[in-house]
Amino acid sequence: MMVLDWATAAPAVGAAFVASTVEVVEAFTIVLAVATLRGWRPALTGAVAALAVLAVVVASLGPALNLVPLRGLQIVIGVLLLLFGLGWLRKAVLRAAGLMALHDETAIFERERTRIGTEASGARSADWLAGMAAFKAVLLEGLEVVFIVLAVGAGRGLMLPAAAGALAAFVVVMAVGLLIHKPLAKVPENTLKFGVGVMLSSFGVFWTSEGLGAPWPGGDWALLGLVAVFLVAALALVSVVRPRAVEARA
């Protein structure tokens, strides 16, 4: 039986859990908006259909990834992670500095309710339209979760621990969401997104370096160092650009 080294698995599980929490919260907001407008039947039908599509994507991609040489996989995933992570971190820095509006689940919930309500009003296929809104939301956010699981897990054979992290996030968010029956506005999404941007960018540099044949000294422990460097740099950038937001508001 394979025994996983916790130092190796923990960053993958943690990154997958935190990143997936953000995505599942966003998907839940739309599904809840649909459910409060048209009932749970179209909301759950759309969500379950999207989960089925995602299962097909994962079942097709998983075996295909085994055919790609490890170094090639590390480069492709590393570069995609860098693009995704730096983009995410850029937005997080701008939000933290006050240069971009904060992500607000309650506002998104109200906006989506209005949009779906307008689209569905008078339409004979109102439930179909509402179900499609839930389908799209779960599919789009779910694809991001699939990418994150692949990205943090595939380079080291940690797909299962990363998938377990994502599944745990899904279970926790759904359980809390269904219990309180409101958008999960109290989840500190902006802080989580900042952390996820830092982690994804760090994984991106780590995997790309490994793929290029230029591994970091210290092996997997170097990830912690990369996380620290990205975190300090991102916080420094926040303090540099924050005055611009103050000037813009003045």
Partner 1 sequence: MSVLLEVLEELWSMFVGDRRLTLLTLAVVIAAAVVAALTTAPPIVAAGLLLAGALAVLADSVLAAARKVGRR
What tokens appear for 214 in the block?
A: 């230029």
Question: Please, what is the minimum distance in Å from the beta carbon of residue 66 to partner 1?
Answer: 22
Q: Are 193 and 84 in contact (CB under 8 A)?
A: no
Calpha distance 22→29 (Å, rounded): 11
Q: Are 156 and 8 in contact (CB under 8 A)?
A: yes
5-44 residues near partner 1, rule: CB under 8 A: none
Interface residue with partner 1, options 44, 54, 136, 235 (CB under 8 A): 136
CA 67 to the chain's CA centroid: 26
Mark residues 230-249: x for contact with partner 1 by CB under 8 A, - for none.
x--xx--x--xx--xx-xx-
Question: Please, what is the minimum distance in Å from the beta carbon of residue 181 to partner 1?
Answer: 27
150 is an interface residue for partner 1 by CB under 8 A: no
Region of 17-25, 83-91, 107-115, 116-124 interacting with partner 1 (CB under 8 A)? 83-91
Question: Please, what is the minimum distance in Å from the beta carbon of residue 179 to partner 1?
Answer: 29
Q: What is the DSSP string of 84-139?
A: HHHHHHHHHHHHHHTSSPPP-HHHHHHHHHHHHHHHHTT-TTHHHHHHHHHHHHHH
Interface residue with partner 1, options 17, 28, 109, 135 (CB under 8 A): 135
Between 51 and 237, CB nearer to partner 1: 237
Question: Please, what is the minimum distance in Å from the beta carbon of residue 237 to partner 1?
Answer: 5
What tokens appear for 112 in the block?
A: 């989506």
144 is an interface residue for partner 1 by CB under 8 A: yes
Calpha distance 166→15 (Å, rounded): 9
Looking up tokens 């303090």 gives 239
Helices 126-153 & 105-120, crossing angle to 10 degrees?
A: 140
Q: Which residues bind partner 1 (CB under 8 A)?
A: 79-80, 82-84, 86-87, 89-90, 93-94, 97, 99-100, 132, 135-136, 139-140, 143-144, 147, 201, 204-205, 208-209, 212-217, 226, 229-230, 233-234, 237, 240-241, 244-245, 247-248
